Amino acid sequence: MSLMQELNRKALRLGVPLSVHLDITYRCNERCEHCYLDHDDHGEMTADEIGALLRDLAEAGVFFLVISGGEPLVRRDCFEVIQQARTLGFNVKLKTNAVLVREKEARRLRALGVEQVQVSLYSHRADVHDAITKLPGSLNRTLAGIRRMREAGLKVTLANVLMRSNFADHVGVRELSAELGAHYTLDPTITPMMDGGRSVLQYRLLSDDLRAVFRDPDLVGDAESFCAPPPPVDDEIREGLPCSAGHTACYISPYGDVYPCVQFPLACGNVRRDTFLDIWKNSPQLAEVRSIRGKDLTTCSSCSHLGTCTRCPGLAYIEGDMRGSSSADCEKSFVRTGIPTAGMLAQSSAGHPRRPAPGLVQIQSL
Q: Label the pairing between strands 116-120 and 91-96.
A: parallel
Using pLDDT thresholds of 50, 70 and 90, give the confidence band for residue 360: very low
Angstrom distance (rounded) from CA 32 to CA 138? 11
- Provide mean pLDDT across the span 111-135: 97
What is the per-residue pLDDT for 351?
A: 63
pLDDT tens for 16-35 read: 999 999 999 999 999 999 99
pLDDT in tens, 46-73: 999 999 999 999 999 999 999 999 999 9
DSSP code at position 215: T
Q: Would you say residue 161 has pLDDT above 90?
A: yes
**What residues does 161 pair with on adjacent strands?**
187
Q: How confident is the model at residue 37 (pLDDT cuts 50, 70, 90)?
A: confident
In whole numbers, what is the pLDDT of the chain averaged over residues?
92
List, for residues 93-109, the tens digit of each pLDDT value: 999 999 999 999 999 99
Identify which of 188, 184, 166 has the alpha carbon closest to the alpha carbon of residue 175. 184
pLDDT digits (tens, 9 = 90+) for 227-271: 999 999 999 999 999 899 999 999 999 999 999 999 999 999 999
Angular region, 181: left φ>0, alpha ψ -120 to 50, beta rest: left
Residue whose C-alpha is closest to residue 203's, from 161, 174, 159, 171: 161
E strand or H helix at 172: helix 170-180
C-alpha to C-alpha distance for 72 and 96, rounded to whole angstroms: 7
Q: How many CB atoms lie within 10 A of CB 72?
A: 24
Q: For residue 357, how many C-alpha atoms fall within 13 Å in the half-sphere facing its CB?
A: 29
pLDDT tens by residue, 296-307: 999 999 999 999
pLDDT confidence of residue 348: 78
Q: What is the pTM of this model?
A: 0.92
Number of neighbouring beta carbons within 10 Å of residue 137: 11
Query: CA-CA distances (angstroms) from residue 217 to 86, 100, 125, 222, 317?
Result: 38, 35, 24, 6, 33
Res. 362 pLDDT band, cuts 50 70 90? very low
Could you read off the pLDDT of 176-201 as tens digits, one per residue?
999 999 999 999 888 888 777 888 88
| pLDDT given at position 235 | 93
DSSP secondary structure of 218-243: HHHSSHHHHTSPPPPP-HHHHTS-S-
Helix and strand tally (H, E) in the chain?
Answer: 16, 8
Rounded distance between C-alpha atoms, residue 262 and residue 73, angstroms: 19
Q: With 50 as the cut, is the pLDDT of residue 341 above it?
A: yes
What is d(CA 230, CA 209) in angstroms, rounded to the nearest whole number? 22
